[in-house]
A and B are shown apart, each in its own frame.
Chain A
Amino acid sequence: MSEKEKNTYEVKVGLAEMLKGGVIMDVTTSEQAKIAEDAGAAAVMALERIPADIREHGGIARMSSPKMIKSIQEAVDIPVMAKCRIGHFAEAQILEALEVDFIDESEVLTPADEENHVWKYDFKIPFVCGCRNLGEALRRIGEGAAMIRTKGEAGTGNIVEAVRHMRKVQRQMRALTQLDKHELMAEAKKMGAPFELVKKVAESGKLPVPNFAAGGIATPADASLMMQLGAESVFVGSGIFASEDPEPRAKAIVNAVTYYDNPEKLAEVSETLAEAMQGQEISEIPEEERMANRGW
């Protein structure tokens, strides 16, 4: 009988592959986790406060309490993710000890290190990281991330930043495929990205790991927009449980991700929804308070 190899990079990316075409929902209680699972979520993100409340609450946002994470793990059969602060590998070690299925090294929490991210190869479980552009995405993959997502601007219910980040990544990937091989090293230098990964993207035109959307998704139409822009799945943070109708909205967004290219279906699933979360104009958020600017 041959050996079992656990925790290889293929096994980590494998779980990201299984989440494609699905919705990953932020939940703060086991009741919300059950609502998310019953609505068809492909995974839940366990966190103490949804990003919209983190914004309002202020102070330092840290990893969720182990007790809260465990209660969510007990409540559902789908994968459970949790967030650690950027660069806070001790929080990540605790999340690994809790056996969460995926760690999000997230700008939504207050960064613990203003230069370095976690060396993700040290961990047995996969990581997802946010990005605003291709260079940032490839730096995170270089550190071992098994999934990339846009940062967007979490907790705003405003899709504009996620669109900006997804378009930027897609545009930069298209541009790379047009370059002559002599130009690749200079481009890698310019982007601040590992050369081998730049070369890989230039050949394939896509990221070597699944590419999801996050940050500001509040409606089925937002989810469809991100899928049409090239996202392979969506994270919905505040959009569901900060709305007036979490349950039907969660279901509608699950439908919208699978049937993203069918406007009649999107109209049908959107028809009975109450008002989405109020949302926030990005220019009203001072530069230093924007979460997307965190991460290096």
Chain B
Amino acid sequence: MSKTVGVLGLQGAYAKHSKMLDQLGIKNLIVRYPDEIEKCDGLVIPGGESSTMSILIDQMDLRKPLQRFKKPILATCAGVILLSENKSSAKVKPLHKLPLLCERNAYGRQIESFMTTIEIQNEHQNFPAIFIRGPKISQIKSNKVEVLAQLDNSPVLVKYKNIMAATFHPELSNNTRIHEIFINLI
């Protein structure tokens, strides 16, 4: 079984995701072109700045291949904003793959960034979660969205069909569990 996971490498923490997949022994490559995305069995959309990534998605004609991509996706932080149904603005044009709305930088500036531990549904051990200028999921628009973890009554890890979305950064911790759950979807 040779599954290849693509890590969208436009900007942000893509190298950290790639390293985590390496640790799990999963073949992965940094993808930045339309044909590369189509070849992947799964895709990671990392954190970074959603405006930067959104601009590059359109400049490089990646919008259609990303919208057409029906295989499993793991989105983190800015990646969640990119997949959301947020209204398009001049800065960010989301892909509308996740029926939810989110608020960018919802916790505040960097001085409000934090780490904590969260409980993930059906998991025995708590997971270390690092939030960096993170977004908040403000509205879930479908009952098919499963909330797997919450923080202060706000969803921080959700699953919708074969898409997992975390508003924090599993790739910055040493715990590979969320990546493992994602890999099992492939």
A residues apposed to B, CB below 8 Å: 1-8, 10-11, 14-15, 17-22, 37-43, 73, 77-79, 96, 99-102, 124-126, 232, 251, 254-255, 257-259
Between A and B, 21 residue pairs with Cβ closer than 8 Å are A1-B152, A3-B116, A10-B172, A11-B113, A14-B113, A17-B12, A17-B13, A17-B16, A17-B132, A18-B47, A18-B49, A21-B48, A22-B12, A37-B51, A38-B90, A39-B55, A40-B51, A40-B56, A41-B52, A100-B109, A124-B111
Contact A255-B111, Cβ < 8 Å, known A14-B172, A38-B91, A42-B49: no
A18-B133, A22-B12 are known; give 4 further A-B pairs, CB within 8 A.
Answer: A15-B132, A18-B77, A20-B11, A79-B133
Residues of chain A lying within 8 A (CB to CB) of residue B117: 2
Convert B50-76 into 0s and 1s, putting 1 for each residue whose CB lies closer than 8 angstroms to a CB of A: 011001100100000000000000000
Chain A contact residues: over half helix, strand or loop, or mixed?
Answer: loop
**B111: which A residues are within 8 A, CB to CB?**
6-7, 96, 99, 101, 124-125
Q: Which residues of B contact A (CB under 8 A)?
A: 9-16, 32, 47-49, 51-52, 55-56, 59, 77-78, 90-91, 104-105, 108-118, 126, 130, 132-133, 151-152, 169, 172
Task: State A126–B132 Cα separation when bound (angstroms).
Answer: 12
Bound complex: CA of A99 vs CA of B110, how far in Å? 8
Closest CB in chain A relative to B57 CB, distance in Å: 10
Contact call A21/B114, Cβ cutoff below 8 A: no
Q: How far is the CA of A77 from the CA of B78 in the complex (A)?
A: 12
Which of A1, A2, A73, A258 is the one whose CB lies under 8 Å from B56?
A: A258
Using Cβ atoms and an 8 Å threshold, which residues of chain B touch A101? 109-111, 133
CB within 8 Å for A14 and B169 given contacts A3-B116, A38-B91, A40-B55: yes
CB-defined contacts of A37 to chain B, threshold 8 Å: 51, 91
Q: Are B130 and A14 in contact (CB under 8 A)?
A: yes
Q: Report the nearest B residue to A269, measured CB to CB.
A: B59
